[in-house]
């Protein structure tokens, strides 16, 4: 089949190919190697025909670059075949053999480039007009850059990935479009490149993808191949590459399977080393990965073996605010149900570090994780006493009224843990803790309401706090509403305990009955909820049945 004469490159390449295919059988030395070259030339001819049939092959820059490279290789092959037909071999046998091997490698590379070029859709793409949508323009540009990443020289690929990084940094929508065009698998393959420039830029591009929720799954689908590349970068990459690798590891490390792989491949040790001596940015990113890993109980042993708690405390003492926040989050996951680790944190100055962080954070959102650690540490009563002595009760009060749901909820849990004795309950009541906790009983989140009810059930064990609670207009009504069995994931024993503590007051009992407590309690008695039967009896059956009779 004749190649359509779109350009001189097509004509010259076709003529050279035909001539070489005719001449190669006449060569008597290195016949096996020349036979391999002839087979590759036949495949190359097929590719040239395929490329020529695309309407934009004569104007597309990648197509023209490919044809130029083919023509150069064919010219070199023609010169070498001429030498091999001369028995004298003016360059010597070893030099000629080396040249033939290099030529074979070049044709292999060209065939791969041609396959990528044909398989991609860029030769279908026309010039994007000004009336074309922005999305279509980005889609076409993404296809072009992704193809350029797979063909040509290292230098041309570096230029292509620089352009891709620019595109990805412009807009999350661009990331979504590029990922849909197949950017991620190509970037992952570049992590295996011999070029340090390409590797670093590839991991930077992957880190951008990792931060866009809608396409994280595409990156996660690369599995252990990507994971192993990133772990190698943690060991031997530059500071820049390590930081980007840590960013990319964040969505990967939320999976238990990946967490196990990271732990078994020495990843925790590498991440802790970055926390100790990395750049400020890489420290924060590494701590974020460790925070994810620490949520899996089977990984905890790796942290202990690597002296991880001490490293995290060091980061909490001197890291950037984000690094400190992630270090605290990691410590929260580690100390869960482990009193020994809680004591270790306190012995090594953890309370002081936590207090300093607490007093320096610019917003309640950043404070959420610190309040959570406070709550976990306070669950061990010897530590709770130290926290109270260090002034954390006063620090908790404003958090209960802040605009961050997670911080408020964690603060309510901390109130429950710190309110383990009458003295502290009295102090909290007199300081104004009751009102914000009552307000939280009407919160939109079940977790918030549950935490508030639990905290109040503890504080109201002190009689003085019951008087404060009774003055709250919505206190009884809000607590009764929490008895509703249809509210799931809320332990009813806490609102029952809360209401039982004020049921001694006839006024409060009347408010409970009027709010429908009888109906709810009867159902809770059937569910064997702790304290519900006693509270139901205290309200008086006759009055309750009067309420039940309403329809």
Beta-carbon count within 10 A of 243 CB? 25
Q: Specify the pLDDT at position 119.
A: 73
pLDDT tens, position by position, 467-484: 999 999 899 999 999 999
Q: Which of 423, 446, 466 is a domain's end point?
A: 466
Q: Are residues 77 and 30 both part of a single domain?
A: yes
**What is the C-alpha to C-alpha distance for residues 35 and 437, in angstroms, rounded to an integer?**
85
| Residue 401: per-residue pLDDT | 93
> So what's the pLDDT on residue 391?
92
For 541, other C-beta atoms within 10 Å of its C-beta total 12
pLDDT band at 546 (very low <50, low <70, confident <90, very high): very low
Domain's final residue, options 124, 151, 178: 151
Tell me: do 279 and 185 sit in the same domain.
yes
- Is 542's pLDDT higher than 60? no
Clarify whether residues 195 and 305 are in a common domain.
Answer: yes
Both 284 and 333 in a single domain?
yes
User: What's the average model confidence in pLDDT over 297-307?
Assistant: 90
Q: Distance between CA 152 and CA 77 in Å, rounded? A: 19
Residue 533 resides in a domain: yes
pLDDT attached to residue 91:
67
Tell me if 123 is assigned to some domain.
no
What is the pTM (predicted TM-score) of this model?
A: 0.78
Please indicate whether residue 40 or residue 57 has the higher confidence score (pLDDT).
40
Residue 378 belongs to a domain: yes
CA distance 147 to 1: 27
**Cβ(81)–Cβ(62) below 8 Å:** no
What pLDDT, on a 0 to 100 scale, did the predictor assign at position 61?
74
Domain assignment present for residue 121? The answer is no
Report the pLDDT averaged over residues 255-264: 92
Helix or strand holding residue 355 (H, E): helix 350-360
Look over the chain and give the mean of its residue pLDDT values, rounded to a whole number. Answer: 87
Count how many domains the chain has.
Answer: 3
Same-domain status, 290 and 278: yes
- State the helix-helix crossing angle for 183-190 and 172-180, rounded to 10 degrees: 90
Confidence at 64, pLDDT banded by 50, 70, 90: confident
Let me know if residue 517 belongs to a domain: yes
Whether 321 is in a domain gets the answer yes
Q: What is the pLDDT of residues 98-137, one digit of tens each?
A: 888 888 888 888 888 777 777 766 665 554 444 457 778 8
Query: Does residue 128 sit within a domain?
Result: no
* Paired tokens of 270: 């590498």
**How high is the pLDDT of residue 68?**
81
Please tell me the predicted confidence (pLDDT) of residue 448.
Answer: 96
313: containing domain: 152-466
Tell me if 550 is assigned to some domain. no
pLDDT of residue 191: 94
Tell me: do 159 and 226 sit in the same domain.
Answer: yes
Which of 144-153, 182-191, 205-214, 269-278 comes out lowest in average pLDDT? 144-153
pLDDT of 10 > 80? The answer is no
């Amino acid at each position: 089949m004749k190649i359509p004469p779109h350009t001189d490159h097509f004509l010259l390449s076709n003529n050279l190919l035909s001539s070489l295919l005719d001449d190669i059988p006449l060569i008597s030395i290195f016949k096996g190697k020349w036979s391999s070259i002839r087979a590759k030339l036949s495949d190359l001819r097929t590719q040239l025909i395929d490329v020529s049939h695309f309407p934009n092959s004569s104007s597309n820059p990648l197509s023209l670059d490919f044809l130029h490279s083919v023509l150069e290789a064919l010219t070199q092959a023609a010169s070498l075949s001429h030498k091999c037909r001369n028995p004298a071999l003016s360059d010597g046998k070893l030099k000629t053999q080396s040249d033939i091997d290099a030529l074979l490698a070049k044709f292999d590379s060209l065939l791969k480039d041609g396959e990528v070029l044909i398989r991609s859709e860029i030769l279908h793409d026309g010039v994007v007009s000004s009336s074309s949508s922005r999305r279509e323009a980005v889609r076409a540009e993404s296809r072009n850059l992704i193809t350029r990443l797979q063909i040509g020289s290292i230098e041309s690929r570096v230029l292509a990935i620089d352009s891709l990084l620019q595109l990805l940094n412009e807009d999350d929508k661009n990331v979504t479009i590029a990922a849909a065009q197949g950017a991620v698998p190509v970037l992952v393959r570049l992590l295996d490149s011999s070029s340090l420039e390409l590797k670093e830029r590839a991991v930077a591009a992957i880190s951008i993808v990792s931060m866009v929720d809608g396409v994280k799954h595409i990156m996660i689908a690369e599995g252990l191949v990507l994971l192993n590349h990133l772990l190698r970068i943690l060991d031997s990459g530059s500071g820049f590459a390590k930081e980007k690798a840590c960013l990319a590891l964040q969505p990967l490390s939320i999976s238990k399977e990946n967490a196990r792989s990271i732990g078994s491949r020495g990843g925790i040790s590498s991440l802790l080393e970055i926390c100790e001596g990395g750049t400020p940015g890489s420290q924060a990113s590494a701590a974020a990965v460790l925070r994810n890993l620490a949520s899996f109980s089977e990984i905890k042993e790796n942290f202990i073996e690597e002296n991880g708690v001490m490293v995290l405390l060091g980061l909490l003492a001197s890291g950037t605010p984000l690094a400190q926040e992630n270090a605290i989050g990691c410590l929260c996951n580690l100390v869960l149900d482990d009193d020994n680790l809680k004591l270790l944190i306190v012995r090594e100055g953890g309370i002081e570090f936590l207090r300093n962080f607490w007093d320096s954070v610019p917003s309640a959102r950043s404070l959420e994780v610190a309040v959570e650690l406070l709550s976990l540490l306070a669950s061990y009563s010897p530590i709770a006493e130290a926290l109270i002595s260090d002034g954390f009760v006063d620090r908790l009060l404003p958090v209960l009224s802040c605009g961050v749901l997670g911080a408020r909820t964690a603060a309510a849990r901390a109130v429950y843990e710190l309110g383990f004795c009458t003295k502290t309950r009295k102090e909290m009541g007199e300081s104004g803790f009751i009102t914000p906790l009552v307000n939280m009983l009407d919160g939109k989140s079940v977790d918030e309401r549950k935490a508030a009810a639990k905290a109040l059930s503890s504080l109201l064990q002190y009689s003085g706090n019951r008087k404060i609670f009774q003055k709250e207009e919505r206190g009884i009504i809000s607590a009764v509403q929490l008895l509703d069995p249809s509210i799931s994931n809320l332990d009813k024993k806490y609102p029952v305990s809360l209401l039982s503590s004020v049921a001694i007051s006839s006024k409060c009992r009347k408010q409970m009955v009027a709010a429908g407590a009888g109906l709810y309690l009867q159902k809770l008695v059937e569910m064997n909820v702790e304290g519900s039967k006693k509270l139901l009896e205290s309200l008086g059956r006759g009055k309750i049945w009067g309420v039940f009779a309403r329809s």
